[in-house]
Structure 1
Amino acid sequence: MIKNIKRVLKKRKAKIFFVFLGCSATIWFINALSQTYVGNAAFDLEYVNYPEGYLYKGASKKNLDVKLRAGGFQFLGFNFKNKRVEIDVSEAEKNGTRFYVPENRYRSQIEKQMTGSMALLEIEEDTLFLNLLPVVTKKLPVRPQVKINLAQNYLLDGKVGITPDSITVTGPAEEIDSLTHVRTKEVTLPDLNSDFTEELGLFKSPRLENTTYSSNQVTLSGKIARFSEKIFEVPVTVVNLPSDLEIKTFPAKIAVVTKAKMQRLKELRESDFEVVIDYKTKKSDTSEKLSVALRKKPKGLHSVKLKETEVEYIIKKK
C-alpha cells in the first residue's frame, strides 16, 4: 500500500515538473522574440502606378535582399512569408525608351512602408529597371458568336441585347491597329422557349500577347415568345394598268402566310396587307404570268410571305 502511494506521488511530481518546464520554456521563448535583432531578410516587390500610356511587362527584380533591425516576432514572420513592399513606378526616371528607379528612390519608398521597430540597415545597391511598353487605346464593338436554336413554335422577340456592347482595348499599336471589333467565344443555345441571359467570355487572339481588355466577358440577353401562324386571303390589286384595258387574275386572291405572337395575330385584318401587280413589269405581250409583290404589311410580325409569287391573267379591251 505504501509503495503504491509513493509511486503515485512520484508520477505526480514528474507531471508538475514538466508543466513548470513547459511554462518556463514558453516564457523564455516569448521573451526572446520580444528582443530586437539584426539579420537578413527578403522583400517581395510589387510595382504600382504605371505611367499613363504604358503597359507593365516586368522588372529586373521581383524581390530584394536587405539587412534589418527588427523584433524577433517580425523575423519569425519572415520564415513563413516575405514582406511585400510597393515600388511606385510614377517616380521612375526615363533614359531614352528605358525606365528605371534609382536605389536612393526606392529605398526611401521602402522605409516609409516599414512599421514598428523595424529599421532598414542595408539594401542591395542596384537600380531597378522596368519593362514598360508604349500602348494605345481603342473602343471596339463586341460581336457575339452565338447560334440560337429556338424550340418549336417559339421566336426571338426583338433584337438580342449585349452588355456592354463595346469594350476598351489597350495594347501596342502594332497589335491593335487592325482590330475593328472584339468577338465572343462561340456558343450554342439549344431549344430556347423562355427569356435568356448568358455570360459569354471574349475571344482573344494569341497574337494579342501584350493587349488587355477592359472586360473579359459580356452578358447576352433576349426575349423569347411563343408564336403562331395565320393565313390571310388578300385581293390582288393591279397598278399602272392602261385605262383602256381590263384585267382579271387567277387567282383573284393570294394567301399571305404570317407568323407572329398570338396576341398580335388577333389584331390583324386582311386590310393590313396589300398585294399588287405592277403592269409595267409585264415582260411581253406573250408572257402568261404576272409577278405579284407584297406592297404593304403591318409592323411587329416575325415573318410574312406570299404562297404564290405569280398569277395567270386575262386582258381585254374595254
Structure 2
Amino acid sequence: MRSFFRQINKRKFKMFLVFLAASSLAWTISQLSETYEARAVFPVQMQHLPDSLLLDAEVTPMLSTKLRSSGFQFLRYALWSKTLVVDVQKVKEVDGNFYLTDEQLKPQLERQLPNNVSLLPLDQRRYMLNLDKVMVKRVPVKPRLELQLAPNYILREKLSLRPDSVTIKGPVAELSGIQSIETEPSKLENVTANFSKNVQLVAPEGFVKSELLEATTEISGIVESFSEKEFELRIIPLEVPEGYRARIFPSTVKLICKASMDRLKVLSSGDFKVVVNLGAMQAGSNILPLHLAKSPKEVYSVRLLHDNVEFVLEKL
C-alpha cells in the first residue's frame, strides 16, 4: 500500500512540476509580449570617415538609446547584439571635439530598427565621437648601421637610402614631435665590396594610433680599396709685407693623399696647394701654420707631414 501511494505522490509531483513550468512559461510569454520603454546599448560601425580624421581602432564605439518595443525584442538585443552603421561623413567639430547632431543621427538609426521598435528622443542633442585629427607628413630615415670596413677599404660616398624619407600618418598630438624615423639596428663586418641591405623601420616611442606607410628601407654603399701616395709641394707665402722677401724653412712640405688606386694614378702635385699666411705673424715669433688651400675631389684624406714652418723676412 505504501508503495502504491508513493507512486501516486510521485505522479502528482511530476504533474505539478509540469503545470508549474507551463504556467511560468505562459507568464513569461505574457510579460515579454508587453510593450516596454527601456535602454539598449548598440556597438557602432562608422562609415565614410573623412580622410582628415582617425578612429581609435582599439575601441568599439557604443551608442546608448531609449526604445519602445516588446519584451521579446529587448531580450533579442540582450542575447544578440546588433551593430548599427552610422555615416559620419558630415561630422561636426567644435573646440577639437567631434559629434553628430540628433537630426543627423536619428534618421539613420530608425532606418536600421525593425518596424515594431520605436526610437524615443535621444537624451543628448549631440552624439560625441572619439576621433582625432590626422596629420600626414614625410620625415627622413636615420640608419642605425654599424659598418666595419676591411683594412684599406673606404666608403666612396655616404650611405644611400631608398627611400630616404617615409610618410607617417596619425593624430597631430602623436606626430608633431617626430622629426625622423630610425631603422632597426644592423651590423656589417669586414666589408670589401659594394653592399645592399633591406632593414625594417622602427616606430618611435609613443607611436600608438599612428602608422608608417612604408615598412622597410634599403641601405646601400659603394666600397672601394684605397692606397696612399706621397707628394712634395713648394710652400707659397701669402701677404708678404711690401719691400720684403720671405724665406720659408723648409720651403717644401710633403703630404700623404689617400684615395682609390684609379684616382691616385691621375693625381699630380699641381692638384694641391699649400700656403703660409704672413699676415698672421705675431711679434716675437717666426713660426706660422701651414694651410692646405687646394685639394682634389674624390679623395679619402690629405695629410701634411708637418704643420708649421719658420720664416725670415729680408729687405729687398
TM-score by length of 2: 0.64
Alpha-carbon distance between aligned partners in 2 of 1:288 and 1:55, rounded to the nearest angstrom = 72
2:279 paired residue number: 280
Contact in 1 for aligned 2:246/2:313 (Cα 8 Å): yes
Cα offset for 1:240? 1.2
Is 1:59 aligned to residue 57 of structure 2? no
1:180 paired residue number: 179
Alpha-carbon distance between aligned partners in 2 of 1:192 and 1:270, rounded to the nearest angstrom = 32
Q: Deviations over 1:187-240 (max 9, x none)?
A: 332221111111122222231211111112211111001111111111111111
1:204 paired residue number: 203
2:295 paired residue number: 297
Alpha-carbon distance between aligned partners in 2 of 1:273 and 1:88, rounded to the nearest angstrom = 75
1:189 paired residue number: 188
Judged with a 3 Å threshold, the aligned counterparts in structure 2 of structure 1 residues 244 and 136 are, in CA distance, closer, same or farther, namely same
Query: Aligned partner of 2:60: which letter?
Result: A
Cα offset for 1:244? 2.3
1:51 aligns to what SS in structure 2?
coil
Judged with a 3 Å threshold, the aligned counterparts in structure 2 of structure 1 residues 234 and 50 are, in CA distance, closer, same or farther, namely same
Query: Aligned partner of 1:299: which letter?
Result: K
Alpha-carbon distance between aligned partners in 2 of 1:177 and 1:184, rounded to the nearest angstrom = 20
1:266 paired residue number: 265
Alpha-carbon distance between aligned partners in 1 of 2:53 and 2:231, rounded to the nearest angstrom = 64
1:292 aligns to what SS in structure 2?
strand
Cα offset for 1:246? 2.3
1:152 paired residue number: 151
2:160 paired residue number: 161
1:25 paired residue number: none
Alpha-carbon distance between aligned partners in 2 of 1:280 and 1:235, rounded to the nearest angstrom = 19
Contact in 2 for aligned 1:59/1:130 (Cα 8 Å): no
Identity %, equivalent residues: 28
2:307 paired residue number: 309
Q: Deviations over 1:97-152 (max 9, x none)?
A: 25789567679xxxxxxxxxxxxxxxxx9xxx975433111121222222322111
Q: Deviations over 1:12-50 (max 9, x none)?
A: xxxxxxxxxxxxxxxxxxxxxxxxxxxxxxxxx998764
Alpha-carbon distance between aligned partners in 1 of 2:299 and 2:228, rounded to the nearest angstrom = 10
Query: Aligned partner of 1:202: which letter?
Result: L
Query: Aligned partner of 1:240: which letter?
Result: E
Judged with a 3 Å threshold, the aligned counterparts in structure 2 of structure 1 residues 298 and 94 are, in CA distance, closer, same or farther, namely closer
* Correspondence list, 1:100-179, <5 A: 102=108, 132-179=131-178
Judged with a 3 Å threshold, the aligned counterparts in structure 2 of structure 1 residues 230 and 89 are, in CA distance, closer, same or farther, namely farther
2:238 paired residue number: 239
Superposition RMSD in Å:
3.4
- 142-151 vs 270-279, which deviates more? 142-151
- 232-241 vs 205-214, which deviates more? 205-214
1:59 aligns to what SS in structure 2?
coil
Alpha-carbon distance between aligned partners in 2 of 1:257 and 1:87, rounded to the nearest angstrom = 78
Contact in 1 for aligned 2:184/2:201 (Cα 8 Å): yes
**Structure 1 unpaired stretches of 5+:** 1-44, 62-85, 108-124
**Structure 2 unpaired stretches of 5+:** 1-43, 63-82, 114-118, 120-127
Q: Deviations over 1:174-193 (max 9, x none)?
A: 11112222222233322211
2:202 aligns to what SS in structure 1?
coil
Alpha-carbon distance between aligned partners in 2 of 1:228 and 1:170, rounded to the nearest angstrom = 48
Contact in 2 for aligned 1:59/1:131 (Cα 8 Å): no
Judged with a 3 Å threshold, the aligned counterparts in structure 2 of structure 1 residues 254 and 149 are, in CA distance, closer, same or farther, namely same
Query: Aligned partner of 1:259: which letter?
Result: K
Alpha-carbon distance between aligned partners in 1 of 2:111 and 2:154, rounded to the nearest angstrom = 65
